[in-house]
Amino acid sequence: MKKLINLALIIIAFSISSLALANSQLYADLTDATVKIVDDGNIVHEVSLLLLDNKKSTVTFLDDITKEPISKLHVTSHKENLKKKGLISIEIEYLSFHNNVWVSKSNSSILNEAGAEGIISIFSNENSLDMIVTAYSRDNEIFKTDPRIINISDYESKKQTLVNDLVIQPMARKRCCTSKCGDGSGRILKCCGSVSCGGCGTSCSTDDL
C-alpha cells in the first residue's frame, strides 16, 4: 500500500511539473514586433504583433466589401541561442494579391538588437521597398503586464485555470481573428498564428475567441 501511495505521489508530482512545463512552452517565448512596409516612399502597412517565437504569424488585409485579399505579411521571430547576446531574428515575407495569385515582393530576415530599428531595403528598376522592423523580447514581463496573457506566476492557485487553458491556448496558434480597419481604408485586418495583431487603426487577439 505504501508503495502504491508513493507511486501515486510521484505520478501527481510529474503531472504538475509537466503541466507547468507545457504552459511555460505556450507562453514563455514571446516577441513584440512592429513592421512597417514602405513602398516608393509611401507607408502602405504598419503592423504590430505579439508573436509566439518560432511560429509563423500571418497578417492579411482584405477588401471590406468584396472580401478579396489585398496583401499579407508572414512574420516569424527567433531567439534561441541569441538571448545572451540580446539579439532577435525576424523573418518577413511581404506578398500582394494580383490576378488571383499571391506575388511575393520580398522574403528576408533581419538580425538586430532588441529595441533597435532594422531596415531591409530592396531596389529595382521600377520601385524601392523598405521593411522597417523593431522587436522586443516579452519572455518575462509579459506575465505581469499584459492582460492578454494569463498570469501563471501564482501557479498553485490557478491549477484548474491552467488545465483549462492548456486545452484552449494551443488553438490560438492556429486560430484567426478579424477586425475592420479604423483608418478609412475600407479594409479588414485578419490575424492568424500570433497572440494578437494591430494595424490600420484596429487590432484583434486570438485569445479573445
Residue type, 26: L
pLDDT band at residue 175 using 50, 70 and 90 as cut-offs:
confident
pTM of the full structure: 0.73
Please report whether residue 163 resides in a domain: yes
With H, G, I as helix, E, B as strand and everything else as coil, classify residue 155: helix
- Counting other chains too, the contacts that 136-139 makes at CB distance below 8 Å and 24 or more residues apart are 136/31, 136/32, 136/33, 136/88, 137/30, 137/31, 137/32, 137/79, 137/83, 137/88, 138/30, 138/31, 138/32, 138/50, 139/28, 139/29, 139/30, 139/79, 139/83
Please report whether residue 76 resides in a domain: yes
Please report whether residue 9 resides in a domain: no
- What is the largest distance, in Å, between two alpha-carbon atoms of the chain? 80
Task: Please state the rounded mean pLDDT for residues 82-95.
Answer: 87
Please report whether residue 4 resides in a domain: no
Please report whether residue 80 resides in a domain: yes
What is the tally of structural domains in the chain?
Answer: 1
Please report whether residue 96 resides in a domain: yes
Please report whether residue 143 resides in a domain: yes
So what's the pLDDT on residue 23? 42
In Å, how far from its chain's centre is CA 171? 13
Please report whether residue 201 resides in a domain: yes
Q: Name the percent of the chain lying above pLDDT 70.
A: 67
Q: Mean pLDDT lowest for which of 26-30, 92-96, 171-175?
A: 171-175
Domain coverage including residue 111: 25-208
